[in-house]
Amino acid sequence: MALTSERTKQWFERIHGSKHMLWLLGTLSFLETIILPIPIELVLIPLMAVNKQRIWLLATVTTAGCLVASLVGYSIGLVLYQSVGTWFIEFMGMEQSYQSFQTFFDQYGFAAILAIGILPIPFQVAMITAGLSGYPIVMFVLATLIARGLRYFGLAWLVHRFGHGVLVLWKRHALVTSLVAGVTVLGLAAGMQALAGRVV
């Protein structure tokens, strides 16, 4: 934990002190979505707190970095699953998560991408599964933007309103909040499916 905190502090200082802050943040968001095991919120929240005049721009850049990474993962699933995709899943130790999400995705589709974008589960499995299944890219992009947009712009609003204290609250309640939001999404999806079944 101490190592993670020190590394996070170094990243924060490097990004905040650079004239290329937005590019570095976008790159960090990209890497966090693809491979980094450390939540970007640990850097993003303090960065937003000391750059309130650019807080919405920071949220936009972070969302954009995540979206680009998601499209890369989608492309791997669509074109390179048998080579790069399978290697990546094994390298990240996500075999069980990937298999579980396939069933989840087959049942809920769009809502599954939304939920996994909110829940504290690696988003890589959603990218690769969506690409492998040939899920419409427009719908995948829309689900990614909604899920990650809610996540990062929601943080921006909280930091704008409450400042540095949001980081402490996020560390304490991120898991519970994510689970509640994810379950809500699934509940809405299940309700819509049931309604559609009755109409048909």
Residue-level pLDDT at 85: 61
pLDDT tens per residue across span 32-71: 888 876 778 888 888 888 888 899 999 999 999 999 999 9
Residue-level pLDDT at 57: 95
Residue-level pLDDT at 155: 85
For the entire predicted model, the pTM comes to: 0.73
The count of other CB atoms within 10 Å of the CB of residue 145 is 16
Beta-carbon contacts of residue 135 (< 8 Å; ≥ 6 apart): 105, 109, 129
Residue-level pLDDT at 50: 85
Residue-level pLDDT at 195: 40
Residue-level pLDDT at 181: 45
Domain ranges in the chain are 2-199
- Low pLDDT (below 50) residues in the chain: 1-4, 175-182, 185, 189-190, 192-200
Residue-level pLDDT at 14: 75
Residue-level pLDDT at 68: 95
- Cα dihedral 81, 84, 89, 90, rounded to 10, equals 120
Angle, vertex CA 158, rays to CA 155 and CA 164, nearest 5? 95
Q: Which class for 106: exposed (0-12), middle (13-18), buried (19 or more C-beta within 10 A)?
A: exposed
